[in-house]
Amino acid sequence: MRFLIIITIFLLNLSIAKEYDCLNRGSLTIEYCDNDFDLLADPPINPNDWINPEILIFTYVESERAPDYKSTFIPFVEHLESCLQHRVAFHPVTNNRAAIYAMKNNRAHIAGFSTGSTVFAVNQSGVIPFATRSYTDSSYDNKLFVITNRNSPYTKLSDLKDKIIAHTDKYSFTGHLAAFLLFPPEKLIPDRDYKIIFSGSHEQSILGVDRGVYDAATISSKIFSRMIFNHEVKYQNFRVIFQSTSFNSDAFSYAHNLNPALKNDIKRCFFNYDFSQNIQMKSSGSQAFIPIEYKKDWADIIQATQYSEK
């Protein structure tokens, strides 16, 4: 009898494995499959596993100032509700880890992630990035800046060997990951040639350099510009000794297991959103949502993430 039970369980597990055969997982966690090799989680095979939430929860995190985002996104949330004919609510989160957890556990269904955290969100919570923001002015492009205090002797990256450099957190592209891709050609190896201290945010890194706590910091140019514009710091107190080319600053994503019809409607409503001049000013010059292809558009960011994990 015991033998028959064991055989029955084995055959049942075999049939389940066959039905949900995962030929490729790549960097995705065990819950997700990538059988089409686009680096993204495949939707559930069984329509019974698709979700169609009564209230769509939207969240966004770029840095640690979550309260700023709610007022910025209220007009857009209202647009989504009207366009989708579906209830939508904005749910603020305090950090990338919380946003990734919310998407993984169906506590949020649409999320905007910063450049680097998008890769972690894709791999850990199966999100599908589909849009980013374009800008009216190239000055809003996001770059990696390495800043030092104006009174310091440091004028180039190689001056920072054996020094203390503030990185933000492991999810940030401009604040951490990009250094592993961009610094070695400049003869500076992160975490070998200098000491990394995680400040917790771009804002704290910038303030730390201003106050002489850190020798230098790797930061987002966009957040640096915002702090200067808001008179939180003075540009003349800093020296920018390195800057990268421009990168996408964020990626808007939906949960991989949303009803396909709802996914299509979400994309339609994102791409037909009219950014008024007032909204552009509140959201760093955003002009429109434009489509992205994660595998192609995030290739450098994915590569930097892999370098940092070696």
In the chain, domain spans: 19-138+249-308, 143-243
CA–CA gap between residue 83 and residue 73 (Å, rounded): 15
Q: Spell out the alpha helix ranges (H) of 105-252.
A: 115-125, 178-182, 202-210, 221-229
CA–CA gap between residue 193 and residue 22 (Å, rounded): 41
Query: Three-state DSSP class for 25?
Result: coil
CA 53-58-61 angle, to 5 degrees, is 150
DSSP E strand boundaries for the chain: 55-61, 87-90, 110-114, 127-135, 144-149, 164-167, 195-198, 216-220, 238-243, 250-255, 286-291
Q: What local confidence, expressed as pLDDT, does residue 10 receive?
A: 41
Q: What local confidence, expressed as pLDDT, does residue 134 receive?
A: 82
Which token pair is 277?
Answer: 């001049």
Is pLDDT of 1 > 80? no
Q: What local confidence, expressed as pLDDT, does residue 43 receive?
A: 97
Q: What local confidence, expressed as pLDDT, does residue 278 receive?
A: 61
Greatest pairwise CA separation for the chain in angstroms: 81
Q: What local confidence, expressed as pLDDT, does residue 73 receive?
A: 84
Share of the chain above pLDDT 90, in %: 68
Is pLDDT of 19 > 80? no
**Mean pLDDT (the chain, rounded):** 87
Q: What local confidence, expressed as pLDDT, does residue 305 receive?
A: 85
Q: What local confidence, expressed as pLDDT, does residue 281 receive?
A: 62
Residue 159 has what DSSP assignment?
G
CA–CA gap between residue 238 and residue 150 (Å, rounded): 4
**Taking the CA atoms of the chain, what radius of gyration do you get in angstroms?**
22
Is pLDDT of 282 > 50? yes
CA–CA gap between residue 57 and residue 89 (Å, rounded): 5
Average pLDDT score over residue span 268-284? 77
Average pLDDT score over residue span 188-196? 95
Q: What local confidence, expressed as pLDDT, does residue 257 receive?
A: 98
pLDDT tens digits, one per residue of 93-150: 888 889 999 999 999 999 999 889 999 999 999 999 999 988 765 545 689 999 999 9
* Among the ranges given (8-22, 160-174, 229-243, 292-306), the one the predictor scored with the smallest mean pLDDT: 8-22
pLDDT tens digits, one per residue of 28-45: 999 999 999 999 999 999
Task: Look up the pTM and report it.
Answer: 0.81
Average pLDDT score over residue span 142-161? 95
For the segment(s) 143-243, the CATH number from 3.40.30.10, 3.40.50.300, 3.40.190.10, 2.70.170.10 is 3.40.190.10
> 129, 249 in Cβ contact below 8 A?
no
What are the Cα distances from residue 69, in Å, to 64, 75, 77, 139, 235?
10, 11, 11, 21, 25
Which token pair is 209?
Answer: 């350099």
Give the torsion through C-alpha atoms of 195, 198, 204, 207, to 10 deg. Answer: 0
pLDDT tens digits, one per residue of 47-102: 999 999 999 999 987 655 544 667 778 889 999 999 999 999 998 888 888 999 99
Fold of the 19-138+249-308 domain: D-Maltodextrin-Binding Protein; domain 2 (3.40.190)
